[in-house]
Each structure stands twice: as structure tokens, then as C-alpha cells.
A and B are shown apart, each in its own frame.
Chain A
Amino acid sequence: MNDLLIPGSISSPTVRLDASRGMMELAGESYPQNAFDFFAPIIDWARQFLRESPDPLILSLRLSYLNTSSTKCLIDLLDLLENAYKIGRAARVVWHCDRDNERAREAAEEFREDVTLPFEIVLEGPAQ
């Protein structure tokens, strides 16, 4: 199974999907022209990984802002991991937030409310 690397832009996150480590990393801001087109290959990759590999899957997010279309796409991705987790797969989410970015933390917490898989919010940067 192939790795996937999508370089970031002003309005789309850097995406690194690493099959050998079972690691999906998204970092940056997300408000692309068409969020559904942007997220489609990422969701397809996760679906393929869950089908072809028995290994754990980790979704590591460092998203300082998501528009509503990106939020909807990320929910689809989380649902995929959540369903895999419910049938016994090892899957978890780690969401990295700047300690002083309250809105990003609130967004992460809202995503966490809707799932039961392990979902860790890691606050980073100097304590105030």
C-alpha cells in the first residue's frame, strides 16, 4: 500500500499518510476551494488501510482552523475510524492544539464528543 503526501497551501493542510507506521498526519488550516475533493483521497486511503492492514491506525491532527465543509469531511473520516474501532480495530486520534488557541481546542472537543475511540487533545506551547 502506498504512502500519500499532499503538500500544504494557504488554505489546505499538509497531509502525510504513512502506511508502514499506520500514521495519518494533517497539519495546517483547512478551507480549500472544494473540501470534498480535497478529503476524498485521504478518506479512500484510510478505508484501504483498514481493509488491507491489520495494524493500528493513528490520526494525528494539528489543524488550527477548519471551515464547515472541512469539518463535515473530517466527521466522515472520524466515523470511518470509529466504526473500525467498534469492531475491534486499534484506532485512535491525537489532536495537537496551541495552548492559546481556544477556538481550535473547542473544535477538537466538539469532535471528541461524538466518538468513543481514544481521542487525546494535546495542548502545546508555553503555559500562560
Chain B
Amino acid sequence: METAALDLYSLRKSFMEGEVLICFNGPFSHSIIEEIGIAVKRYLETEAASRSAVADVFAVFVELAQNVQSYTHRLKGRKDELGLDAGTLAIGRRGDNYAVSAGNMIDQADAGPLSARLEELLTKDKPGLKALYKERLRGPRLPASGAGLGLIDVARRATQRLSWSFRQIDDRYSFFSLSVII
């Protein structure tokens, strides 16, 4: 029996329909984040995006990718038919804007606190986000990864409300996905 070939055409079709420019799925390492970062900047510069837009897309990419890297690293070593160590990242257009989306498997126990942090960000306007950012900057270093600060920075750079979802995969894990429009 032949192994079914990867249907590249349907993959390509979803990328084109979703206006995806750059996509990565797999374990995130620091060098992969550096390489994708270079590619993102080059690509946006050839698209003649404004320097601030390039800077914001790049910054949001770095914060989301480093969050995914540090979180998935903590799940490493657990039994892994779900791809717990793999993150999924897509950078694309959304009309006249850019979208940076990142997702990974999370322990369901972490979904509540994460959701609460994101909900809190939605209640703030830009000056409120700046005040919260400065307050957290001076606060104690968070034991986990400092992800709180990264999400506030991302919210400050977003031009629209953050959107996210949790998709339950089994009784222990959910797939968390966050999308940021710039």
C-alpha cells in the first residue's frame, strides 16, 4: 500500500485563502526564531510596508514566538502524540493590515489564568495598557516566563482587539491560538 502523498495543493490553497505570507509548524528553537525574524523583516520591506508596521509585526512575532518556545519547552518530555513540543505560527495579510498568529498545545489548567490575563487587556485603552506595562516592568520577575509583559506589549502594538481561542483536544490538553492584527 502506498503512503498518501502530502496534498501540497490543498495546503497552498489554504495559505492563499488565508493570505498567509510565512508559516512555520514545529518545535521552536532560538535560531529558528532568529531566521524567521530575518525573513519577516525582508519580506515586509519588499512590500514597502511602513517602518513602524515592520517594527510592530516583527516585535509581535518575537514576543509570541518566544512565549510559544518557553511554554512548549516546559511540556517537553511528556508523552507526545499531540505534538506538545510543536508551535504553529503564521504571518499574513488581513485586508490592509497584517496578522501575526501563534498557537500551541496547553495544559487545560493554564487556560483559565491565561484567559483572565487576556480579558484584562481587552478592558484597557492604549494609555491604560501603557500604565499596566510600566507597572509590570517594575514588578518582580514572574517565575514562569514573564509572558505577562509580552502580551501587554503585543496588545499595545495591535490595531484591533486581540482574538484568541481554546480548542479542547482531549481531557488534558487544549490548543490555544492567539491572533494579533497590526
CB within 8 Å of B: which residues of A? Answer: 10-11, 31-33, 36, 65, 67-69, 71-72, 75, 100-104, 110, 114
Which residues between 25 and 79 of chain B lie within 8 Å of chain A, taking CB atoms?
A: 30, 33-34, 37-38, 51-52, 55-56, 58-59, 62-63, 66
Q: CB-nearest residue of chain A relative to B157?
A: A103
A75 to B34, CA, bound (A): 24
Interface size on B, residues (CB 8 A): 24
Residues of A within 8 A of B149 (CB): 68-69, 71-72
CB-CB under 8 A for A103 and B137, given A65-B58, A68-B149: no
Q: Does B167 contact A (CB under 8 A)?
A: no
Beyond known contacts A10-B38, A69-B150: 13 more, CB 8 A cutoff: A32-B30, A67-B62, A67-B63, A67-B150, A68-B146, A69-B146, A69-B149, A72-B141, A72-B146, A101-B51, A102-B52, A103-B51, A114-B134
Min CB gap B34→A, angstroms: 4
A58 to B38, CA, bound (A): 31
Q: Does B19 contact A (CB under 8 A)?
A: no
Min CB gap B148→A, angstroms: 9
- The answer to whether B51 touches A10 (Cβ under 8 A) is no
- The answer to whether B56 touches A103 (Cβ under 8 A) is yes
A67 to B145, CA, bound (A): 13
Interchain CB contact (< 8 A) of B51 among A32, A67, A102: A102
Residues of B within 8 A of A69 (CB): 66, 146, 149-150
Q: Does B107 contact A (CB under 8 A)?
A: no
Residues of B within 8 A of A75 (CB): 137-138
A101 to B41, CA, bound (A): 14
